[in-house]
Amino acid sequence: MMDPQELDARLEAAIPAVRAAGRLALEHFLNRDRLAIEHKGQQDLVSIADRAVEDLLRRELNALFPEDAILGEEGGGEDAPRSWVLDPIDGTFNFLKGIPCWGVVAAYVVDGRTLIGITYDPVHDELFTARRGGGAFRNGTPIRVSGNTSVDTSCLALAYSFRQPKETYVGLVKQALDQGFEHRRMGSTAIQLCWVADGRCDGIATLLCSSWDVLAGLILVEEAGGRATDFLGAYGLLGKGGIIACTPALAPELEAVSGLVLPR
Ligand code: IPD
Ligand code: CA
Ligand code: CA
């Protein structure tokens, strides 16, 4: 097990790499009319920006931590005992449409546990960081989940992928409304998790996601005092599945909405 000082040193070393990746992504965002867009699947877009940003992150992290493995959405990778898990642009659809809600994501996983999470929103220059046991931060300032205790004043962030049957998402929205939640779907699961950690939203539910979408945000929510699905325990690094995360008092209602159970 790595000691906290060593993890803090890794976090500090990785931050400039993620910020550099964010600056490159932002350059592409501001010149996105020049990007050739490819379709990976139904409503699933990708461009050279995703690959260029992941390549930069891989180069930088590999130079810093040559002994660590890297798993990235675009370049793939294996399940290894020590891995950096990367989503170069989470919210690619927004990115390519010019909607300013997307982020660059890196999580550090050791023996099936996320120990570091870094999510950078370059448009708003918001850097969200967490180290296991070390708290959650936005640009170095500590953040907390909302502390909301009432569904009647709470907002649930949702996400949907066209890889899911549409009925499952329609069912999720109906359950959320039946429970009395207001809801939003911003198009970047990673950024929405940061907003839960920062108290802007009270909870999040998505019924299908990958490790690179959520690991950095789930540790951030936990370190901000919230409760969150153990993605790695449930599905493993290469698996896919549903997650929820929220301010603690809303856990029973969110479990009822999603059909997912939080760790006790
Ligand atoms: C997507 C976003 C979105 C979610 C999709 C993801 P991408 O990631 O997180 O919020 O609904 O399922 O695929 O493709 O932009 O990296
Ligand atoms: Ca993603
Ligand atoms: Ca992506």
With a 6 A CB cut-off, is 159 part of the ligand 1 pocket?
yes
Report the pLDDT value the prediction gives residue 25, as an integer from 0 to 100: 97
What CA–CA distance (Å, rounded) separates 248 from 29?
Answer: 36
Banded model confidence at residue 97, pLDDT cuts 50, 70, 90: very high
With a 6 A CB cut-off, is 102 part of the ligand 1 pocket?
no
The domain made up of 151-258 is a member of CATH 3.40.50.720: no
What CA–CA distance (Å, rounded) separates 175 from 193?
Answer: 20
Instruction: Quote the ligand 3 centre to 178 CA distance (angstroms).
Output: 32
What CA–CA distance (Å, rounded) separates 172 from 198?
Answer: 23
Identify which of 50, 188, 240 to mutate to test ligand 1's pocket (most ligand atoms within 8 A of the CB).
188
Decide if 198 contacts 143 (C-beta within 8 A): yes
pLDDT mean over 58-63? 98
What CA–CA distance (Å, rounded) separates 165 from 225?
Answer: 33
Residues 165-198: pLDDT tens digits?
A: 999 999 999 999 999 999 999 999 999 999 999 9
- Number of the ligand closest to the Cα of 45: 1
pLDDT mean over 205-222? 98
Instruction: Quote the ligand 3 centre to 91 CA distance (angstroms).
Output: 6
- Number of the ligand closest to the Cα of 50: 3
Which homologous superfamily does the CATH classification assign to the domain defined by 4-142?
Fructose-1,6-Bisphosphatase, subunit A, domain 1 (3.30.540.10)
pLDDT over 80 at 164, yes or no: yes
Q: Which residues pair with 106 in a beta bridge?
A: 86, 118
Order of all β-strands in the sheet with 69-72: 69-72, 82-90, 103-110, 113-121, 126-131, 136-138, 141-142
Instruction: Quote the ligand 2 centre to 150 CA distance (angstroms).
Output: 30
Report the pLDDT value the prediction gives residue 222, as an integer from 0 to 100: 98
* Region(s) of the chain under CATH 3.30.540.10: 4-142
Q: How many residues does the chain have?
A: 264
Number of CB atoms found within 10 A of residue 19's CB: 16
Percent of the chain residues past pLDDT 90, beyond the cut: 91
CA distances from 42 to 56, 89, 93 (A): 27, 18, 12
Backbone angles phi, psi at 214, to 5 degrees: -125, -20
Residues 77-91: pLDDT tens digits?
A: 999 999 999 999 999
With a 6 A CB cut-off, is 188 part of the ligand 1 pocket?
yes
Report the pLDDT value the prediction gives residue 28, as an integer from 0 to 100: 95
Residues 135-150: pLDDT tens digits?
A: 999 999 999 999 999 9
* Region(s) of the chain under CATH 3.40.190.80: 151-258
Report the pLDDT value the prediction gives residue 33, as an integer from 0 to 100: 86
Instruction: Quote the ligand 1 centre to 2 CA distance (angstroms).
Output: 31
Residues 68-78: pLDDT tens digits?
A: 999 999 999 99
Instruction: Quote the ligand 3 centre to 65 CA distance (angstroms).
Output: 23
Atom 16 of ligand 1 has which residue's CA nearest to it?
Answer: 90
Concatenated DSSP letters of 235-253: H-TT-EEEEEEE-GGGHHH
Decide if 127 contacts 15 (C-beta within 8 A): yes
Report the pLDDT value the prediction gives residue 256, as an integer from 0 to 100: 97
pLDDT over 80 at 45, yes or no: no
pLDDT over 80 at 216, yes or no: yes
Name the average pLDDT for the chain: 96
What CA–CA distance (Å, rounded) separates 76 from 86?
Answer: 9
Report the pLDDT value the prediction gives residue 43, as an integer from 0 to 100: 65
